[in-house]
Amino acid sequence: MTLLKTKTILLMLLAFYSSSAQLSINSLDTDHTIDFDNTLLGVNLGPLQGLGLVNLPVTLGQLDSRAWAIYGMSDGDVPFDGTGLLGDFTGGISQGGVALSALYAFNTATILSPDYALGFQANDTDMTPGSLRLKLQNDIVATTIRTVTVSYDVYVYNDQNASSAIDLAFSSDNTIYETVDSKEVTTPTTADGSPEWVKYSVSKTIYGLSWDSGTNFYLSWQFDDASGSGARDEFSIDNIVVNVGNSHPDILITEIMYDPNSAEPDYEWVEVYNNSIVPIDLEGFILYDNSGSAGETPITESYTLAPNEGVILIDQNITDADFQAAWATGNTIPTLTVNLPDLSNIGMSLGLWGNSAYYDNGNLTNALDEVTYQNGSGSWPAVGSSDGKSIYLQSLASDNNTGSSWAQSNDATSTPTGYAHTIPAQGGGSGSDVGSPYAGEGALPVTWLSVDVSLVNNQRPKITWSTAQEINNEWFHVEKSYNGENWSVIGQLKGKGNYKGVSVYTYEDLPLIRSCYYRIRQIDYDGKWEHSEVRYIVPSHTGETEIYPTLLENGNRTLNIKNLLPGVSVDIIMYTPEGKLAFQTHLIPESTGADLMIPEYIINGTHIISISSPTGILHKSRIVLR
């Protein structure tokens, strides 16, 4: 091969590799994975080898600093687009148990079947504190990302009598980072007698974003001492998975007690309800009022609000025990103690944000929910100074920022989230307050027995559900989603009205082309509704993915691939036996088979080809070009 041709091939490979300059988020409801064992454009070149980081790496095993930044090493910081190819940044490959503080490619598996992770050996001057940052770019055209779910594994090699802490943080500008305290992983203080790699899996969904197309978002793993000194345990990050959505969770302010007869502001409260089908962790959420009395009210503890459940935000001047005693109903009322602002008896705006990164000092543009109530003004209910009544949202399907959607609480009245009652003088309450703080006690129009989904002939999803009784039940709507957030109705079945006894319903969907979610919406005669539990199903392969022929000669450069899943994306990587990247592409097959044309610039010889999907490697084999 001529020198000119060799240079041409190298330039083509570099141009192909440089097409993405950070972790590219290019589709919704898709796992974008960094496993450090495979090349990921703009992130790392080849399996991680602990050879440092540089803008546009050309050596296999290096990180791409267009995606990564490292702060806290004694040899200096490497910002995004910087260079770290010496000293602390080139620890190489290790199985663990190293003494030199540096950045490493830690093999957390075996020598014969390696599984590389990006990690550090810390000491008094390296990564105590420090941070590893990852830049992501929204490459989805004309789409604003609203939620980000990030999961990853932390590996710890506990060989030292010192403890380190690893936190997750995020930022919209790479300047101010919001730390997720509940996701901290702390290594043990006492060393193991026979240390080995121990995995801690972490997952966090970040809500309330306004991440526009073409802009960046940042994740950071923050490291610091927890106890001890000298050499620390080795720790590493692996299997980073980022999945995004373009809609906010359906979380609502559903009841407000702004003028109780009990002491104000101590016994004021706000009910928040999860009207979506996925759990929501409220850590980092912010409640804000525009009265000027308290302003920003962050929720600092991790609290998972289950689907179709509520929680009462109470003032920090009282305890949960005080509130339970005052509003005793026989059921425990879920509460969160916050620095609740004084709720105006005249009216004010309340907003709920998913995080501080997009909070913007109370700008309601990015709020997940807002209610501007005005006592007795327009269509808003009027609560008298001695009534002691809350106001509640009459239907979960109504606009909760419209006065006519709200009503005063009256004793023994059913609300969408419970039953209103008048409290006696008990606990710290003075009595005669009327409200329905959520206690999970709303009447159920349908008693669900089961909801299941299965594949008929490995193709058609069959949704089956059963009920024990039905009250005023008019319809069942079958709903489908590819991301668990955006739903569409694909069918409906007539309910039985009022019926006590077991009923079984089934519905078959069109052949499955990709993984999806199903749920049932039950609708009453008066239009009120509730959802069943959600079920998830994935397509079934009809056989193992195969490649043929494995010998390409006489100018033939076409590979045939069979037993793919239509509509399910696959990544194809070809490399030399020495591990050098030769070719990489991505395709979404329209049928179970596809043809792959090997570029002419790929030289003859033996190559390794790997085909993988979001669920893992589908096929790996050798091919020969002659």
User: Among 407, 435, 463, where does a domain finish?
Assistant: 435
User: Among 245, 274, 289, where does a domain finish?
Assistant: 245
Q: What are the tens digits of pLDDT across the range 105-132?
A: 999 999 999 999 999 999 889 999 999 9
**Of residues 421 and 244, which shows the higher confidence score?**
244
Residues 143 and 129 in one domain: yes
Q: What is the pLDDT, as a whole number, of residue 415?
A: 78
Q: What is the pLDDT, as a whole number, of residue 382?
A: 95
Residues 392 and 496 in one domain: no
Domain that holds residue 495: 446-537
Residue 32 resides in a domain: yes
Residues 195 and 72 in one domain: yes
Rounded CA separation 150/32 (Å): 10
Residue 551 resides in a domain: yes
Q: State the pLDDT confidence band at 579, using cuts at 50, 70 and 90.
A: confident
**544 C-beta neighbours (distance < 10 Å), count:** 9
Count each helix (H run) and each strand (E run) in the chain, helices first.
2, 45
The CATH number of the domain holding residue 113 is 2.60.120.260
Q: State the pLDDT confidence band at 420, using cuts at 50, 70 and 90.
A: confident
Q: What is the pLDDT, as a whole number, of residue 18?
A: 44
User: Among 537, 571, 601, where does a domain finish?
Assistant: 537
Q: What are the tens digits of pLDDT across the range 7-39?
A: 444 444 444 444 456 899 999 999 999 999 999
Q: What is the pLDDT, as a whole number, of residue 256?
A: 96
Mean pLDDT across the chain = 87
The yes-or-no verdict on residue 541 having pLDDT over 90 is no
Residues 217 and 264 in one domain: no
Residues 339 and 416 in one domain: yes
Rounded CA separation 144/350 (Å): 24
Residues 375 and 493 in one domain: no
Q: What is the pLDDT, as a whole number, of residue 20?
A: 53
Residue 378 resides in a domain: yes
Rounded CA separation 499/502 (Å): 9
The yes-or-no verdict on residue 308 having pLDDT over 50 is yes
**Of residues 202 and 227, which shows the higher confidence score?**
202
Q: Beta 335-338 vs 309-315: how paired, if at all? A: parallel
Residues 507 and 393 in one domain: no
Residue 178 resides in a domain: yes
Residue 303 resides in a domain: yes
Rounded CA separation 338/297 (Å): 7
What is the arithmetic mean of pLDDT over 330-334? 78
The yes-or-no verdict on residue 391 having pLDDT over 90 is yes
DSSP letter for each residue of 214-269: T-EEEEEEEEEEEE--SS--EEEEEEEEEEEESS---EEEEEEE-S-SSSTTTT-E
HSE value, Cβ hemisphere, 13 Å, CA-based, for 404: 0
Q: What are the tens digits of pLDDT across the range 231-284?
A: 789 999 999 999 999 998 899 999 999 999 999 999 999 999 998 878 899 999
Sign of CA dihedral 387, 393, 395, 398: positive
Q: What is the pLDDT, as a whole number, of residue 45?
A: 95
Q: State the pLDDT confidence band at 591, using cuts at 50, 70 and 90.
A: confident
Q: What is the pLDDT, as a whole number, of residue 609?
A: 92
The yes-or-no verdict on residue 292 having pLDDT over 60 is no
Bridge partners of 169, per DSSP, are 179, 220
In the chain, % of residues over pLDDT 90: 53
Q: What is the pLDDT, as a whole number, of residue 339?
A: 87
Residues 390 and 495 in one domain: no
Residues 557 and 465 in one domain: no
Query: Domain count of the chain?
Result: 4
Among 335-339, 474-478, 612-616, which is the least confidently predicted range? 612-616
Q: What is the pLDDT, as a whole number, of residue 515?
A: 78
Residues 132 and 264 in one domain: no
Residue 221 resides in a domain: yes
Residue 440 resides in a domain: no
Residues 9 and 108 in one domain: yes
Q: What are the tens digits of pLDDT across the range 430-483?
A: 778 999 898 765 445 677 889 999 988 877 899 999 987 777 788 999 999 988
Sign of CA dihedral 360, 365, 369, 371: positive
Q: What are the tens digits of pLDDT across the range 166-175?
A: 999 999 999 9
Q: What is the pLDDT, as a whole number, of residue 615?
A: 64
Residues 388 and 428 in one domain: yes
Residue 450 resides in a domain: yes
Q: What is the pLDDT, as a whole number, of residue 89?
A: 97
Q: What are the tens digits of pLDDT across the range 42-82?
A: 999 999 999 999 999 999 999 999 999 999 999 999 999 99
Q: What is the pLDDT, as a whole number, of residue 101?
A: 92
The CATH number of the domain holding residue 618 is 2.60.40.3080
